[in-house]
Structure 1
């Protein structure tokens, strides 16, 4: 291979060699069974267009955050999530209870069938209107959650609506937190004294770098970060 590249370097332009090396790198990355793309399950998820990664459904979050959640979640935690899906199944295997809302009726019906045998999941259909962010209060105004996962619609408004349902050591997770339209919601949370940890990387099935933020208070939070 080195001999061939040496000959090609005399014939082809520097730009051509650059693209040949890119193809070579891509080939090696795809075929390295112990490399990142295969170890994480990313390659299979992309080729098969699935969130079933290494025999388990995972949230549509970057792999760095998925690894943290696998390590930190435990059976003493209660989670509320705006938006249901593979994350609902993933969480239910690791925590005490999952309360999830869904605004898409067809998707709600599909997920409801999938979770029918999961006793620790409570899934609610909620209309997407101005009251959507406050559904956390309507379901149970007195319930406080260890983790609130914001991955549905109206995320800025959801950030502002959750304060009464937070525990002292609660953690908030906001997906796609690098979007400019969420900056006011982020400011609201950080003004409450929460630190932010931005996690960036590939998501299952994705191509670009995505960002999710964990908001936590130092010294006393349910994920111990």
Structure 2
């Protein structure tokens, strides 16, 4: 399972997770497996909207022995967008995905890399604890910019040359 987040960006995210820390990610996949395989001293919660994809990722998590520190929460809703297109930002039918049954203030790192990313950024803004590292993958996509304005200080991390060509946006809440 290949991660579509550049290696230097994944490493930066991983470096922000303290020992015994907690990370939340909207959207699971190759990076989920990568994060779990790099360190064993933190817990990862993934929120996914696609049942078939969630099963595929969970199978890899189980096969590699990471179940004890990974919690995959499936919240399907009625996703009507298309991956990598502006309509993926449409939150219609995704309220259970956007508002998952987790306490945002428990997480040290949050990665937004699923659907309705702007809505996910917006709803968590007043719920995260001070000092939480918030990351948005594919930040070069113009349709996420409206939600980035909720966060005052941000930086863009470019991928290493030759790696997956997507920007990573980072803010410390």
Answer yes or no: same fold by TM over 0.5.
Answer: yes
**Normalized against structure 1, the TM-score is what?**
0.60
Whether 2:48 is the aligned partner of 1:102: answer yes
1:99 and 1:70 map into 2 onto residues whose CA distance is 14
Over aligned residue pairs, what C-alpha RMSD do you find? 2.3
The residue aligned with 1:175 is: 137
The residue aligned with 1:188 is: 150
The residue aligned with 1:113 is: 59
Structure 1's consecutive aligned runs of 4 or more residues displaced over 6 angstroms after TM superposition are none
Higher helix content, 1 or 2? 1
The residue aligned with 1:145 is: 107
The residue aligned with 2:10 is: 66
Listed as ranges, the matches of 1:12-27 within 5 Å are none
How many aligned positions are there?
Answer: 152
Whether 2:98 is the aligned partner of 1:133: answer yes
**Normalized against structure 2, the TM-score is what?**
0.76
1:92 and 1:142 map into 2 onto residues whose CA distance is 20
Q: Any stretches of 5+ residues in structure 1 without a counterpart? A: 1-49, 52-58, 218-225
Q: Which has the larger radius of gyration?
A: 1
SS at match of 1:101: strand
Q: Any stretches of 5+ residues in structure 2 without a counterpart? A: 78-92
1:106 and 1:204 map into 2 onto residues whose CA distance is 30
Q: Is the 8 A contact 2:108 2:131 kept in 1?
A: yes
* Change in 2 beyond 3 A, CA 1:73/1:90: farther
